[in-house]
Amino acid sequence: MNVALDSLVRLRKADIKPAARVLTESFQQYPLLVQKYPDESQRNKAAYYFFLVIVGYGVRWGEVYASSPRMEGIAVWYRSEYFPMRFRKILRSVPFSALLCFPWSGVGRLQKAADFVEARHQLTAPSEHWFLDSVGVLPQYQGKGYGGKLIRAMLVRTDMERLPVYLDTMDETDVRRYEHFGFRIIDKSAVPKTTLTNWSMLREPGNQ
């Protein structure tokens, strides 16, 4: 494993639930979640189960890292061959208890937006790339370099592999942060039936 990634902690199946809790707290104010779940308690419950799926999928089919054993921050990565998520792969990667508790009745609130973002990803991203699905840092640790540590370590790896990295966000404040790491905007689109904008971003190998 690359030396830079050795400074992180790669997560395993036993880490899925605590990692999902970290991302849930990190994304409390994410625009899409706030708009679709104005009630904070409903938002946190829905977000937790969505992140169980994301982290579980990443652990099984990609790579998920924590900034340290304390899990100040989490990053979920996988290669383009595992995008988009397929339901049969989700069934093989997520704890069955999570699927039983998953808020299926509320999926429609997010599904159309998720389908739109997925379509923009497929349209704009190169045929082969790494996908930074999610990166989040607990509020009390934000601004202390943990997010940068998670991103930079993997970018060393993607540069060595000569592969681009794709991500998307609906939080405009994230755009400037990602530009700092060499990402550029490749698509900016209004998300249907919301007041939100989605930014698709790409980083070419070695672009810092």
pLDDT one-digit tens code per residue, 32-64: 999 988 989 888 988 998 899 899 999 999 999
- The reply to whether 208 falls in a domain is no
Confidence of residue 23 (pLDDT cuts 50, 70, 90): very high
ω into residue 31 within 30 of 0, thus cis? no
Lookup result for tokens 């169980």: 52
CA gap 90, 75 in Å, rounded: 18
For position 102, what pLDDT does the model report? 64
CA gap 177, 119 in Å, rounded: 24
- The reply to whether 140 falls in a domain is yes
**In total, how many domains does the chain have?**
1
Contact 138, 73 (CB under 8 A): yes
Pairing between strand 184-190 and 9-10?
A: unpaired
Would the pLDDT of 105 be above 60? no
CA gap 195, 28 in Å, rounded: 18
- The reply to whether 197 falls in a domain is yes
CA gap 16, 22 in Å, rounded: 10
Would the pLDDT of 3 be above 60? no
- The number of angstroms, rounded, from the C-alpha of 124 to the middle of its chain's C-alpha atoms is 18
- The reply to whether 149 falls in a domain is yes
Q: Write the CATH number for 145.
A: 3.40.630.30
pLDDT one-digit tens code per residue, 143-182: 999 999 999 999 999 999 999 999 999 999 999 999 999 9
For position 99, what pLDDT does the model report? 66
- The reply to whether 13 falls in a domain is yes
Domain boundaries, position 88: 5-203
